[in-house]
Structure 1
């Protein structure tokens, strides 16, 4: 840490009622020097992180799994909708993978009176909203690809800096609770997005405009209600092309904990969203539901019940026991057992049961995984860049799921999704075993 002002650490940082006035403070992800977050500001931040995540993840819940597939089906017919969706989703996912760590790198280097994160959160939400409106009026495959890619670019510009708020401003002993609240916003957003998206199933243009406006409003309110410390006097590190290229790379030898945490999240998320992210076509083509848009809201509500219950319990409990890994192992086991049901019993009833059980397991994982990630970040000076790399493991599976699932379905049929997801989930849990920074 480099600072000319004494900074309270540990719980004392959270108990302080006087904001730190220095502009040279740099926290550490491990918590050796906790962020200067006064308790009133921290509580407000914990409240506002839920709607902030809602603003972004409702889009990821509504578009890739419901509105975008429906738009493609309406525009190009049902015959090739799997292949067309796979093309659109793959290109968009690649954009997400590239943009978020770049946005994080820019955020880490941003110097403004509003802090490092706020400017890009606002710019990204505005750019994403405008792109979403453009997607609403796209009427060709090329137009859909371009517009969806720009949507990915815009909202990933906002999401990278938003994720860096926790290691920037939340003391390490509060991160399990903060991660649980953040996870509630994330999962309620993703599943609530599917519910709201189903409401716009036959009014896609109106739905796109709604999500664009909602996201811009809540992210703007988050920035206004949670002002960051000025970063104008933070020392700006020299920029080189090599440093820029390293944006996408964290040495697994020098930072093995980070590597294993990234790998675990990537595998588990990919398995989960390869199944749940393909819900619309599974319901219509695999379970032969006549009107899937009428079933999706019920499924979303049932999944939310499981997720909220496990998230509220697992996050604070992991803080209390001081362990993260057991919750990851348990979540993988629960989700894997849930995916067995529709594989062995291809019926709508089994899908409904799976939705609740898998939601419970995934909520448990989501509650502790963000806290775990924050404790293995390589550098205090590049929180947003490193979290941008980490978030590739979260956003890439969600946006790429239709593409991945499409390839599997075209090659082996719908039933193959479930064993693939089970194997990926188990491997994801095993990947966190070697991590030494947390138990």
Structure 2
């Protein structure tokens, strides 16, 4: 346990850190508790965030297919593209706002709380949406509100975690995110026939778990921080980090962008790939099985790679290897389009993705230019994850229209390999 500092001293330390540090420096001590406790609590919070992200893989396509089975691919692309665009814009704005928030509860807590409440309300709207446009609008609000949760939540890593624990923290966070995606798919698949109940369950989890997280892990007061005046050009630069001044940031962003695009092109269409390419009549009956298979790979990849990257003080080799493993996994269903082939792909893909998320998250935290803008810059980096949710469905739709579902795999393989190559020009992180 850390010894709590007097409130005024803690506030001064926090203000000094924000004013002068970058992502490659240790933050001030926690308000109370220990890093180990923070790491334990990040698991359920990350789990719930990821469970919500699993909704468009099961409940949304199922709900859309009930309404208009003949146009399901187009309608799904519409819903995911519009909501992805909202998330894309909201992410950096949420980060910018949280960076500049002055409150006794800190910079991040107010937005995590408010965002979780809006997410819950929008999910209730999803439950009772009666048209594709209703689903589109409701899911748009879910994604925008999630940006105000995820942006501040992701900033906890550079805000509070010392450098020598970031790989471990990122590993636990990665396990939570990957496990949440699997558990979310299982819960959603189990509730497809009662999808309204499913949306209600996710809404309750979003509010309950995230409120407990902020209650048990308080942040430093941010009332004493200095806030620079925000002009119009500063607002425009919310979506920009100069690649010439910060080339490492640029390469880390690029690597994540291309790899996530390839990943989303295949996994984002899993429901329809299983039904129309592999020939499974009820994909929702098999998604939990593939989820369990993937969970084993996720845990192995994340548990091993995160702590090892801390031990060796190296991030790039792990991220490179993970990207290559994901590319190799995508070869399997391309040449072996069966239930077994998809399961093999899922296991290898999960192993690589688990390695990637654990170590790449730590790497990203170390290329951030300034503590003043951790939230904003992480919001920009998160564009590399949210933009593929926008362009991925569109790109997938074009590829499917021209080549059929089989065309998704070679395109995703090339993108994964480009993501591996883009890691090596980074100089400030080994």
Output the TM-score relative to the length of structure 1.
0.93
Change (3 A) 1:59 1:33: closer
Which residue among 75, 78, 86 is the counterpart of 1:87? 78
Residues 1:350 and 2:314 aligned together: no
Give deviations 1:173-215, integer Å, cap 9, x for gaps.
1101101011111111112211111111111111111101101
- Matched position secondary structure for 1:91: helix
Query: Counterparts of 1:75 and 1:390 in 2: how far apart (Å)?
Result: 36
Q: Mapping of 1:20-419 within 5 angstroms?
A: 21-24=9-12, 25=14, 26-27=17-18, 28-37=21-30, 40-61=33-54, 63-77=55-69, 79-398=70-389, 401-419=392-410
Query: Counterparts of 2:227 and 2:281 in 1: how far apart (Å)?
Result: 58
Residues 1:422 and 2:408 aligned together: no
Whether the aligned pair in 2 keeps the contact of 1:104 and 1:385 (CA below 8 Å) is yes
Query: Counterparts of 2:391 and 2:39 in 1: how far apart (Å)?
Result: 30
Give deviations 1:343-370, integer Å, cap 9, x for gaps.
0111111101111111111111111000
Whether the aligned pair in 2 keeps the contact of 1:105 and 1:385 (CA below 8 Å) is yes
Q: How many residues align?
A: 423
Offset of 1:398 from its aligned partner? 4.4
- Matched position secondary structure for 1:231: coil
Offset of 1:16 from its aligned partner? 5.1
Deviates more, 1:183-192 or 1:388-397: 388-397
1:7 maps to: none
Offset of 1:399 from its aligned partner? 6.2
- Matched position secondary structure for 1:377: coil
- Matched position secondary structure for 1:308: helix
Runs of 4+ residues deviating >6 angstroms: none
Offset of 1:41 from its aligned partner? 2.7
Query: Counterparts of 1:175 and 1:68 in 2: how far apart (Å)?
Result: 35
- Matched position secondary structure for 1:253: coil
Gaps of 5+ in 1: 1-14
Deviates more, 1:253-262 or 1:399-408: 399-408
Offset of 1:38 from its aligned partner? 7.0
Whether the aligned pair in 1 keeps the contact of 2:30 and 2:219 (CA below 8 Å) is no
